[in-house]
Amino acid sequence: MSTKQEKRVAEYAAMFRVKPGSKVKLGRDFDPAFKADVVRKKDGAELLRRGIALLADYQDRLAAQDTYGLLVCLQALDAGGKDGTIRHVMSGVNPQGVAVHSFKVPSAEELDHDFLWRYARRLPERGQITIFNRSHYEEVVVVRVHPENLDRQKLPSENKGPGIWARRYREINDWERYLTDNGFRIVKIFLNLSKEEQRTRFLKRLDLPDKNWKFSSHDLAERERWNDYQEAFSEMLTHTSTRWAPWYVIPADRKWFARLAAAVVLVHELMDIDPHYPTVSAAQRKDLAKVRKTLLAQAPKGAAADPFEEKLARERRKAKKRGDAHENGLVVAAVDGKAGAS
Ligand code: AMP
Ligand code: MG
């Protein structure tokens, strides 16, 4: 990426970031219909395509470097677009390097542990990107809006007093700091949907038979608690956007814009990690040269000593003959494994 592009990505990401220590009130501070200066959907699609290509390239390097892991936490209200965002934004990356985990109502086994246990078990490995479709933030949102969830968590009575939410924010912040200190970066995305757009999307689920399965009457009951959720999310954003793991509030009323913004935020984090392919030391290069010599000596009668080198040379000659310097560049890049790199 050019420095100019990098600057642009950084500027975009900054627009959505919740400043650590700031007090957030969702309705007042963030507009779900905002679409920056990307006016047309058509331009958005082209930008998303580029973002997806960048993500694929970064993910490849992240895996090769095997030092950092990336955790993406996605939170939203029902019909906020979490599933579609994951499907589109990650469409270009190697499935071997990505994991997605969804968190539902906790099981009996999960309730038998501390509240972060089930999330800790799903963290990324080094070199991996893991997406949490809902995350440990449910523990300070749905559990706060419906305190009966907390009753089921079997906490000792002396540990569930009124200070519990402040304590959970602190515990979450500490845990995330521990993770980032150990090479696991965290990106937290809140898809910010308006009440009217949610109504429209629910109706779509009712009107289209193929979408009926996505609707549950439970969603309507949760919609009745709209204000409580807005409040719980605002508190969450206020208390858990930190220097080491900031929140990004992404306008979600336009799906295409939300996907683009999510891609930008991820690219920005990976840009910051700046993963590199491992380089080979002089000693390793010497070893490789020895192995190469052995393999060359094993060429059967009549075969080229190095068929790969031969093929490469042939392709170079062909390209040159066509006078097609551009293609030559592409072939060489492809053979070197650099095609598609920015
Ligand atoms: P869905 O993602 O539509 O399949 O719904 C999953 C449901 O599980 C949502 O209603 C969440 O609010 C709920 N859920 C997720 N995590 C928790 C939790 N820790 N405690 C209680 N409910 C949860
Ligand atoms: Mg649902």
Whether the full predicted model's pTM is greater than 0.85, yes or no, is yes
pLDDT tens digit string along 141-150?
999 999 999 9
pLDDT at residue 180 in the model = 98
State whether the beta carbon of 138 lies less than 6 angstroms from ligand 1.
yes
pLDDT level of residue 40 (50, 70, 90 thresholds): confident
Indicate whether 99 pLDDT > 80.
yes
pLDDT at residue 332 in the model = 45
pLDDT at residue 41 in the model = 85
Indicate whether 341 pLDDT > 70.
no
Mean pLDDT on 89-114: 97
Measured over the CA atoms of residue 14, residue 141, residue 196 and residue 48, the dihedral's sign is: positive
What distance in Å separates the CA atoms of residue 294 and residue 300, rounded to the nearest whole number?
Answer: 13
pLDDT tens digit string along 297-336?
999 999 999 999 999 999 999 999 987 655 545 444 444 4
Give residue 104 CA to ligand 1 midpoint distance, Å: 4
State whether residue 194 is helix, strand or coil.
Answer: coil
State whether the beta carbon of 152 lies less than 6 angstroms from ligand 1.
no
Q: At CA 94, angle to CA 92 and CA 100, rounded to 5?
A: 90
The overall average pLDDT reported for the chain is 93
pLDDT level of residue 162 (50, 70, 90 thresholds): confident
pLDDT tens digit string along 196-254?
999 999 999 999 999 999 999 999 999 999 999 999 999 999 999 999 999 999 999 99
pLDDT at residue 337 in the model = 42
What distance in Å separates the CA atoms of residue 99 and residue 177, rounded to the nearest whole number?
Answer: 22
Give residue 243 CA to ligand 2 midpoint distance, Å: 31
| CB 285 within 8 Å of CB 26 | no
pLDDT level of residue 39 (50, 70, 90 thresholds): low
State whether the beta carbon of 119 lies less than 6 angstroms from ligand 1.
no
Q: What is the CA radius of gyration of the chain?
A: 25
Give residue 31 CA to ligand 1 midpoint distance, Å: 25
State whether the beta carbon of 239 lies less than 6 angstroms from ligand 1.
no
| CB 174 within 8 Å of CB 145 | no
For atom 6 of ligand 1, the residue with the nearest CA is 104
Mean pLDDT on 119-145: 98
- Ligand 1 atom nearest residue 133's Cα: 2
Indicate whether 85 pLDDT > 90.
yes
Indicate whether 340 pLDDT > 90.
no
Ligand at shortest distance from the CA of 101? 1
pLDDT tens digit string along 107-121?
999 999 999 999 999
Mean pLDDT on 35-63: 91
pLDDT at residue 331 in the model = 44
Give residue 35 CA to ligand 2 midpoint distance, Å: 26
- Ligand 1 atom nearest residue 82's Cα: 2
Give residue 9 CA to ligand 2 midpoint distance, Å: 32
Indicate whether 43 pLDDT > 90.
no
- Ligand 1 atom nearest residue 142's Cα: 12
State the residue for tokens 């919740």.
18
Highest mean pLDDT among 34-38, 152-156, 323-327: 152-156
Task: Please choose from 136, 137, 139, 142 the residue to mutate so as to test ligand 1's pocket, defined by most ligand atoms within 8 A of CB.
Answer: 142
| CB 176 within 8 Å of CB 245 | yes
Element spanning 99, H or E: strand 98-102
253: left (phi over 0), alpha (psi -120 to 50) or beta: alpha
| CB 32 within 8 Å of CB 81 | no
Give residue 219 CA to ligand 2 midpoint distance, Å: 7
Which of 21-25, 39-43, 337-341 is predicted with the least confidence, judged by mean pLDDT? 337-341
For atom 11 of ligand 1, the residue with the nearest CA is 104
